[in-house]
Amino acid sequence: MARVNFPGGGASILLRVNPMRRRFIQLGLRSGRATNVAGVFALLAMLGAMQGCIIPAIGAVVGKAIEENSPKFVHGEYAGMGGKSFAVLVSIDRSILSEFPGLALELASRVSETLADPENGAGASGMVMPADIALYQGKNPGWPVRLREQVAYELGGVERLIIVEVSDFRLREPGNRYLWNGVASCSVGVVECDGPAPEEFTFQRTVRVGFPDQSGVSSDSMSGSVVASELARRLGQRSAWLLFDHSEPPGTKY
C-alpha cells in the first residue's frame, strides 16, 4: 500500500493489487459443476454399449447438457485495464439515493472487487478503495463537473477513471405494490487519464439487469432487501464484465 501526497495537504490511498493475495473460490459452484459433468460422462459410458440411430440423437442431447453446465467464455468490450490503476466513481440521482442510500458504495465495491480479484484476470495494477472514494465524493460534491484529469490526480494519480451513472433502480413496476419486478440500469464509462484525451470517455456502454428471473414473485416469498441486493450484485458484475475477458457461470440469466 502506498500513500500519495499532493500539494496543499490532500492525500489519497492507492492500493496495489497483489496477485498472491487470497483468492475467492466459489466451492459450491465448482463442486456442483463437477457433479454435473461426472454424470454426463457416466451417461456417455452407458451409451457406448448401445447401437442404432438413437445414439447420435442422445449424443446431441448430452453435448447440449455439457455446454449448459460449462462456463461461457466472453470477450470484454474494453481491453485497456491491463497494468493500469483505477478508481470507480458512482453517480446516482437523488431520488434513487433517498430510497437506497447505500447503493453508490455497494456498486463501487462490487465493480472494484471484481476488477481487482486476480482470479478474474482483469490485470489491473492497483485501485483506490471504494470507502476512500466515497469520502472524496462527500467532501467534493462538485466532482462530476471538475476536469477528470484533476479528479484522477486527487485520487492518487490513477490511470483509469471508471464512472458508473445509475439511471434506474426500482424493485417493482410503478403502481404495483404486490409483485417484485426489479430493474436496474446504468452507463459505464472509462476515462484513460494517461491517454491523449483525458477528459473524454474512451469507452462507454449501457447496462440493464432485472430480478427476479420469474414473474409472480411477491413479498410473501421474498423480501425487498433480497431483491435490492441481487439487483446491485448483477448490475455491478455486468458493469465490471464489460472491461475484461471473463467466464460466466453456467445458467447465468442476466
pLDDT tens, residue by residue, 162-196: 999 999 999 999 889 899 999 999 999 999 999 99
In the chain, what percentage of residues exceed pLDDT 70? 73
The order of strands in the sheet holding 11-16 is 2-5, 11-16, 126-128, 85-92, 160-170, 182-192, 203-211
Q: What is residue 12's predicted lDDT score, i.e. its pLDDT?
A: 45
User: Is residue 31 predicted with pLDDT exceeding 50?
Assistant: no
Mean pLDDT computed over 71-76 = 94
User: Is residue 121 predicted with pLDDT exceeding 70?
Assistant: yes
The whole-angstrom separation of Cα 179 and Cα 136 is 38
Q: Which band of pLDDT confidence, cut at 50, 70 and 90, is reported for residue 254?
A: confident
Whether 130 and 58 have beta carbons less than 8 Å apart is answered as no
Domain range annotation of the chain: 27-70, 73-248
212 preceded by a cis bond (ω within 30 of 0): yes
Q: What is residue 30's predicted lDDT score, i.e. its pLDDT?
A: 38
User: Is residue 39 predicted with pLDDT exceeding 80?
Assistant: no
pLDDT in tens, 7-17: 333 344 566 66
Q: What is residue 89's predicted lDDT score, i.e. its pLDDT?
A: 98
Q: Which band of pLDDT confidence, cut at 50, 70 and 90, is reported for residue 70?
A: confident
Q: Angle at Cα 225 formed by Cα 100 and Cα 30, nearest 5°?
A: 115
User: Is residue 75 predicted with pLDDT exceeding 70?
Assistant: yes
pTM for this prediction: 0.76
Helix (H) or strand (E) holding 182: strand 182-192
Quote the cell numbers at residue 85.
Answer: 490503476
DSSP string, 3-50: EEE-TTS-EEEEEEP-TTSPP---HHHHHHHHHHHHHHHHHHHHHTT-
Whether 208 and 167 have beta carbons less than 8 Å apart is answered as no
For helices 103-116 and 224-241, angle between their N-to-C axes, nearest 10 degrees: 40
Q: Which band of pLDDT confidence, cut at 50, 70 and 90, is reported for residue 76?
A: very high
* Long-range residue pairs from 9-15, CB within 8 A, at least 24 positions apart, any chain: 10/154, 12/128, 12/132, 12/136, 12/154, 12/155, 12/156, 13/128, 13/129, 13/132, 13/156, 14/85, 14/126, 14/127, 14/128, 14/155, 14/156, 14/157, 14/158, 15/126, 15/127, 15/128, 15/129
Mean pLDDT computed over 196-201 = 97
List the CATH code of the domain at 73-248. 3.40.50.10610
